Amino acid sequence: MAHASAANPQPSRRRRCLVSGGAGFIGAHLVRHLLARGDHVTVVDNLSTGRRINLPEFHEQLRFIEADLSHALGAFGKGETFDELYHLAAAVGVSLIIADPISSIETNVSQTSALLRFAAERGPGGAPAPTLIASSSEVYGKSTAIPFREDDDVVYGPTTKSRWSYAMSKALDEHLALAYGQQRGLPIVVARFFNTVGPGQVGEHGMVLPRFVERALAHAPIEVYGDGSQSRCFCDVRDVAAILPTLMASPAARGRVFNVGSDRVLTIAELAHAVIRITASKSRVAMIRYSDAYAAGFEDLLRRKPDLTRVRETVGFEPSITLEQTIADVASWISGGKGSPIDWRAVSHPETKR
């Protein structure tokens, strides 16, 4: 796999990167890569689902701003510019959207709009700044055209089901980002993440793997929604985060959408059994009806698998960490008390590297 730090030569001066949502699960792993290659990194995060502990308490090339993204962008001085913008801030996941649809939709749409307006004039010398926005496999909606290709049609349920608003808000983000690319010349890349898992992901917002691992470590029943035959592809966050700076740096990626994930398919029941096996748990699998887990009429997607041809051909992406390894690492992170998922001592300051 092409790792950013190896693929990108050191620039003559250090890049200044802005990472929105950088205290979140994927964001923190991305920040690790950017700091390791010597960048100056500004993180803006309101800590709504992110955790300050995900980032180093002190690193001389990291600036942490706890704020809503749109407020922070408005407060930057006029002369403050960035070489690269990574937009990961969002209300993440279907459970959060169902619990609080208004602020979730507003977050996903208005924060992205603010970020793109800012990006259009805050690159070096006031030029548009290269920008990557995080999208989601949810954008495909309930399409059954497996595997999902970036140019496929998307299929959504009615607007009376708030479940689809996450997909629609992310799709609108993509439209807006691509429109900034076309109309304002913004160098834009859209990364559609499929299920991303690994150390640092917490289960409170319905994320499946940490939820399963926590139950397994407690030898408690693992709740699988539906009959467990719905399938997903899980990719380790360390693989996902590593490819983002490479996508950003690739001229061939500009103005395009990329699936980012793994194409190894697993049913949710298989995932539960894998977790039980790897953690040597005495848990059993308990099937829960969707109507008991979510509101009646909840539509889950039976299958979701990315076609990775485009990201493979453009930047040589290949997931390198097996799901078994990820499960073991998540279990040891959770057993260890869910501290920072990253050993920041290993991310040396560039000064000490020379």
Ligand X SMILES: NC(=O)c1ccc[n+]([C@@H]2O[C@H](COP(=O)([O-])OP(=O)(O)OC[C@H]3O[C@@H](n4cnc5c(N)ncnc54)[C@H](O)[C@@H]3O)[C@@H](O)[C@H]2O)c1
Stretch that binds ligand X, among 22-30, 174-182, 314-322, 336-344 (CB under 6 A): 22-30
* Options 107, 231, 246, 250; binder of ligand X; rule CB under 6 A: 107
Length of the chain: 354
**What tokens appear for 123 in the block?**
């690159």
Contact 172, 159 (CB under 8 A): no
The smaller minimum CB distance to ligand X, of residues 29 and 281, is found at 29
Residue indicated by tokens 């980002």: 177
Q: Is-catalytic flag, 180? A: no
The smaller minimum CB distance to ligand X, of residues 202 and 328, is found at 202
Catalytic entry in 86, 140, 156, 166: 166
H-run or E-run covering 276: helix 268-278
What is the rounded CA–CA span in Å between residue 245 and residue 285? 39
* Options 46, 61, 104, 259; binder of ligand X; rule CB under 6 A: 46
Identify the CA nearest to 191 among candidates 239, 259, 123, 241. 259
What is the rounded CA–CA span in Å between residue 146 and residue 171? 19
What is the rounded CA–CA span in Å between residue 42 and residue 270? 40
* Options 48, 143, 230, 267; binder of ligand X; rule CB under 6 A: 48
* Options 16, 24, 139, 283; binder of ligand X; rule CB under 6 A: 24
Q: How far is the CB of 49 from ligand X (least distance, A)?
A: 3
When asked if residue 25 is in the footprint of ligand X (CB under 6 A), the reply is yes
Amino acid in the structure at residue 184 = R
When asked if residue 341 is in the footprint of ligand X (CB under 6 A), the reply is no
* Number of H-type helices and E-type strands within the chain: 14, 13
When asked if residue 68 is in the footprint of ligand X (CB under 6 A), the reply is yes
Would you state the torsion angle of the CA atoms of residues 167, 234, 52, 63, taken in this order, to the nearest 10 degrees? -80
Stretch that binds ligand X, among 85-93, 145-153, 309-317, 343-351 (CB under 6 A): 85-93
* Options 6, 47, 155, 179; binder of ligand X; rule CB under 6 A: 47
Total residues at the site for ligand X (CB under 6 A)?
Answer: 27
- Contacts with ligand X, residue ranges (CB under 6 A): 20-21, 23-27, 44-50, 68-69, 88-90, 92, 107, 111, 134, 136, 193, 195-196
Active site residues: 166
